[in-house]
Structure 1
Amino acid sequence: MKMIKVEDAIGTMLSHDVTQIIPGKFKGRAFKKGHIIRAEDIEKLLSIGKDNVYVWEPKEGELHENDAAKRISDLVVGEGVDTAEEIKEGKIDFFAARDGLLKIDKENLFKLNSLGEIIVSTLHNNTPIKKGEKIGATRVIPLIIDENKIIEAEEVIKNSIISVKEITPKKVVVITTGNELYYGRIKDAFLPIIEKKLNEYGSSVLNKIILPDDKDRINLEIKKAIEEGADMIICTGGMSVDPDDVTPNAIKECGAKLVVYGSPVLPGAMFLLAYHEDMPILGVPSCAMYSKRTVLDLVLPRLLADEKLTLNDIVAYGHGGLCLDCNICNFPHCSFGK
């Protein structure tokens, strides 16, 4: 790469994108890499502070920022991710190729960004994503980078870092408990909320049962739902530690393996998760009726993406597990659960 005065650059080829900034109005590319400079370009180049331009003179063992970014992109992108067709100012953007759950290999992302001169930026791991949504980007810092740096990255990173996991529709049985509901004293507020959240991910309620606070009857209906082929069971109501709240014990005694009862998430502390083989059984606390977002919003997309959550997965939500109940909810693009 050779630097020459703008006035002497007519007929030469730009080796990099030239950015123009108009404060408060515009920031973007004024001239594209590969542009052949014309006489009429000189005035504009000078007006944006370019007294000199750089002409690309390839040398063995060196890579232009665009070529390096393409190799990094090929290294980090996995299933369910599209890359921008055009490289702008040495940067490649990544987009979701489908609706799903964003998965980031945080350990390898840290390793890659620790190498120096290479950056990859992403949204948070486990963020529910819509097709076409921007989820990350990469670029190298210098205009020209030693190819050995890229080779080092390719040797360190053996698996993709960014992917979008597919969420598949599920048949869900909802079991709502409470004497006040069973005897018609109040209207069930749980079901419309659960249905709405399931519908966001293409799933639906297969069956809905309202039961009194009767451990044996709850246990029986859970077993029945299992036998009839439900993909997931969500139990609502009766999840606190009051003596007449029997839902947790009913779940524990149905033959399922308990993962956790109690989560470091607010709202959602009294959340329960168990598995009957690979089928999740959830105990959802009453906060789901009146809070916009709760622990259910954090675990549901992961379960619908067929992740089998562990105690460690739930415990990890303590960092970021406080919902601020903002007047305008921007979930999932907020701090909750991150």
Structure 2
Amino acid sequence: MGDTSLVLPEANPSTHVEYSTVKGYFLQSEESTDSSKFDFKKSNFGLIDRTYETDNTFSNDLELSPAKDQWQRFVKYVRYLNEHAPNDVKFKVIFMGRHGQGWHNVAESKYGTEAWDCHWSLLDGADGITWADANLTDLGKQQAQDAHQLWNSLLAGEENGIPSPETYYVSPLVRAIQTAVITFDKLDLPQELPFKPVVKELLREAIGVHTCDRRSSATFIRDSYPFLTIEDGFAETDPLWTVDLREPSSARRVRMTALLDDVFATDENTFISFTSHSGAIRSLLEAVSHRSFGLETGGVIPVFVKAQTVRGERKTPDPEPSGTPPSCATNPTSTPSL
């Protein structure tokens, strides 16, 4: 693998890291794939059946089924690319997972998006529902369990052979932590690659106004999930959330690019898991020049990412004004309870 220090954006102010999606390997990265009909659970996570230039390096006595052969051949090819890449290039495969259904999702459906945005999302909860730093619903837990069962079958099944993630990153919001735990805990993982999730402050949903996107205290997270590793510099109280300003999409993309800079500069592993949110994933895909691809709650897609250090300053999106809560056109409290 190339010299990590050469992929540090701060190492030289005249260079930056440029991220791109390597196409031709996953269905979700191809424009021809209809995201509304795509089912990651039935498509081997979208891995395309194809050949690689490293296929002839496998021993002839390996007796593998086509699906298992496909993943193992892909893994070998990705590692080959990293081993032979110039010092200014790195490749990673990032499994981007959206949390399962949370109580904030239920509330938005109940009240409607307009009333949710202008009134209900500013509250901690109502009508017996709490959505501040929302927990998973029973359906959300089942969606995470479905992902767990898929990983379990792909890791252990005779017809597969998917690589387990080598690093697990998770949003600090509870619904994402719960999803990661249900999905990956108790899998039959390699002893040298245990499930040890790392909380990353930047790997979170759009920040501000909505209480569902205000994280809990560091003490609460540590006490509730003592097996987590919390990154250095993690503040006790949420330093990013504000009550009256909502982060615009352009700023969220800059934030996700900064997250990628951190991960690519400090993590030598190749197969990575991110458990986060719909908005975070949308901005991550933009940051790696991937096509727009919507994920249902509990959905997961892997993305083949290339990082290359290039000359010049990074072009950033034109700044948008921070959003403020919209005025309600009608009385939001007139919505009947479930």
Shared fold per TM-score greater than 0.5: no
More helix by share: 2
| Bigger-Rg structure (1/2) | 1
More strand by share: 1
TM-score by length of 2: 0.25
TM-score by length of 1: 0.25
